[in-house]
Structures are given as structure tokens and as C-alpha cells.
């Protein structure tokens, strides 16, 4: 090999070495930029959520439970907490199976029945948000002393998942059907007075690891969603 060729070869090696160096350096810089972009994206998400989070102060409806996250419909020895979403088909199913049992337990003053309307299926209507609107409307019905009646009427007319849900006007009309004829109720429903209360309930329930509906607790202990389990737990 002539010395000229050797020099050329050596030059090329140096050039390649430098190019590799440059590429490595740029890779590191670009990676740092990318990492920063990911961190910023995460912070943006957190900031958006923090902005959406329900305010610390919100209106609480009449007949609210002691912790403020439920509607008390009866007094009795055993406490039954029923967490439900008005769009949830299994809630409707459980409610229709258990309603007569619950009614007689209420009549015999065996149970303090507390309904906790929460909204975990807001995403399943189009436009989203039926769960919240329905639960907020139910709270308005509590103000009008018609919560149990309205509750049942809402399940009777439950819209399908994936539908638009019931409109606020329809929610008002259902109220009229159970005797909530005054303007206060209609205004309460259309202004979504208790939407933040519902968000608070949902958040509080999730904090207690109640993320599914229906969830039924008897004296604080979760039971299977069957009439049998309910009767056994209440005794």
C-alpha cells in the first residue's frame, strides 16, 4: 500500500470519527429536548385537570348524609349505602330486583338507606355528561322531597349507553311526572346546580376505592349485588 492511500484512509477514519461524535452529541441534545417535551406534556395534563377539578365549596342538597355524599331516604338500625350511576344498566337491574325488598326494609325501619349518585359513565353518552346531569337532577328532586320517586322514574326511563342521554327538559318532565311541578326544580335541573356536588361524590367514592357501580355497602362492608346477599347482610 502506498503512503498516499494510507493517508487517505486515515483521513477518512478521522472524518467518520468526527461525524459519529457529532451524531452522538446531537442525539443527546435531541433526547434531552424530547424528555423535556414529555415532562411538559405531563405537567400540562395535570394543570388542565387541576383547573377542571370541582371547587372546594359547592351546594349540598337537602337530605344529604352526614358526610355529605349521599341522600338519606330512611332511618333504621343497619346502614345501606348504594352507589349508583343513572346510566349504568346493572344499577337499573339491581334496583328493579331489590326495590321491593328495600321498600319493606325501609317500611320496617330496618335500614338507613343512603343513595350515593356518582358519575363514572359520563364518557358513555354522546355528548358526554348524562351521568352527571341525571345525578344532579336527582339531587334537585331531594330538595323537593321526592328523591325516591324521581330515582325510580329515572331508572324507568334510563337511556342506552352510547345515546345522547335524556335532555335537561326531559329530566324536568320526569320530575313533573312525580309531582315536582314547581319552577324551583326546573331551574335547579337546567342550571345544573348540583353538578359539583356529584363530582365531589364521585371523587370521594373513588378515594374509598368505590369505582364501579352498583356498589352496595351494608354497615360499611361491600356485599354482592343480589337480593339474597342484601337480606343476609341486613339480617
Partner 1 sequence: MQVVRLWGATAARLGLAVVFAVAGWSKVTDLAGSGRAVNAYQLLPFSLAKVVGAGLPFVELMLAALLLLGLATRFAAAVAGALLVVYIAAIASVWARGLSIDCGCFGVGGNLAPGQHPNYFWDIARDVGLLAVAVFLLLTPRTVLSVDNYVLGEA
Q: Are 121 and 202 contacting, i.e. CB atoms less than 8 angstroms apart?
A: no
Taking each helix axis from N to C end, the angle separating 147-156 and 89-107, rounded to the nearest 10 degrees, works out to 150
> Across the beta sheet with 215-218, what order do the strands follow?
71-72, 111-117, 78-84, 215-218, 221-223
Distance of CA 183 to the CA centre of its chain: 28
- What are the grid coordinates assigned to 178, written together? 312525580
Q: In the complex with partner 1, which residue's Cβ is closer, 167 or 211?
A: 211
Q: In the complex with partner 1, which residue's Cβ is closer, 142 or 223?
A: 223
User: Is 96 a binder of partner 1 (CB under 8 A)?
Assistant: no
35, 59, 160, 176: residue in contact with partner 1 (rule CB under 8 A): 35
User: Is 122 a binder of partner 1 (CB under 8 A)?
Assistant: yes
User: Is 164 a binder of partner 1 (CB under 8 A)?
Assistant: no
Q: In the complex with partner 1, which residue's Cβ is closer, 74 or 213?
A: 213
102, 199, 217, 218: residue in contact with partner 1 (rule CB under 8 A): 199
User: Is 13 a binder of partner 1 (CB under 8 A)?
Assistant: no
User: Is 181 a binder of partner 1 (CB under 8 A)?
Assistant: no
Q: Are 167 and 82 contacting, i.e. CB atoms less than 8 angstroms apart?
A: no
Tell me the torsion sign for CA atoms 18, 24, 29, 33. positive
11, 31, 100, 163: residue in contact with partner 1 (rule CB under 8 A): 31
User: Is 17 a binder of partner 1 (CB under 8 A)?
Assistant: no
13, 34, 160, 164: residue in contact with partner 1 (rule CB under 8 A): 34
> What ranges make up the beta strands (E) of the chain?
71-72, 78-84, 111-117, 215-218, 221-223
3, 52, 57, 183: residue in contact with partner 1 (rule CB under 8 A): 52
- Per DSSP, helices labelled H in 108-182 are 130-143, 147-156, 168-177
Q: Are 82 and 116 contacting, i.e. CB atoms less than 8 angstroms apart?
A: yes
User: Is 176 a binder of partner 1 (CB under 8 A)?
Assistant: no
Residue found under cell 331531594:
142
Site for partner 1 in 140-159 (CB under 8 A): none
Q: In the complex with partner 1, which residue's Cβ is closer, 92 or 146?
A: 92
Residues that bind partner 1 (CB under 8 A): 19-20, 22-23, 26-27, 30-31, 33-35, 37-38, 40-46, 48-50, 52-53, 88, 90, 120, 122-123, 128, 199, 202-203, 206-207, 209-215, 224-225
Amino acid at each position: 500500500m502506498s503512503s498516499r492511500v494510507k493517508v487517505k484512509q486515515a483521513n477518512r477514519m478521522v472524518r467518520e470519527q468526527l461525524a459519529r461524535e457529532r451524531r452522538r452529541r446531537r442525539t443527546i441534545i435531541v433526547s434531552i429536548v424530547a424528555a423535556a417535551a414529555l415532562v411538559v406534556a405531563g405537567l400540562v395534563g395535570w394543570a388542565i385537570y387541576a383547573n377542571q377539578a370541582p371547587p372546594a365549596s359547592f351546594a349540598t342538597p337537602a337530605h344529604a348524609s352526614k358526610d355529605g355524599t349521599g341522600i338519606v331516604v330512611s332511618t333504621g338500625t343497619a346502614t345501606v349505602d348504594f352507589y349508583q350511576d343513572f346510566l349504568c344498566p346493572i344499577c337499573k337491574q339491581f334496583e328493579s330486583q331489590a326495590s321491593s325488598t328495600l321498600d319493606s326494609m325501609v317500611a320496617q325501619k330496618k335500614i338507613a338507606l343512603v343513595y350515593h349518585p356518582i358519575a363514572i359513565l359520563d364518557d358513555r353518552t354522546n355528548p358526554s355528561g348524562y351521568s352527571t346531569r341525571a345525578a344532579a337532577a336527582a339531587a334537585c328532586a331531594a330538595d323537593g322531597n321526592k328523591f325516591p320517586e324521581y330515582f325510580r322514574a329515572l331508572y324507568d326511563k334510563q337511556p342506552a349507553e352510547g345515546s345522547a342521554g335524556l335532555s335537561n327538559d326531559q329530566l324536568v318532565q320526569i320530575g313533573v311526572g312525580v309531582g315536582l311541578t314547581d319552577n324551583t326544580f326546573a331551574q335547579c335541573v337546567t342550571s345544573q346546580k348540583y353538578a359539583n356536588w356529584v363530582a365531589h361524590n364521585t371523587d370521594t367514592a373513588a378515594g374509598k376505592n368505590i369505582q364501579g357501580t352498583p356498589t352496595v355497602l351494608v354497615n360499611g362492608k361491600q356485599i354482592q349485588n343480589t337480593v339474597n346477599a342484601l337480606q343476609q347482610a341486613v339480617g
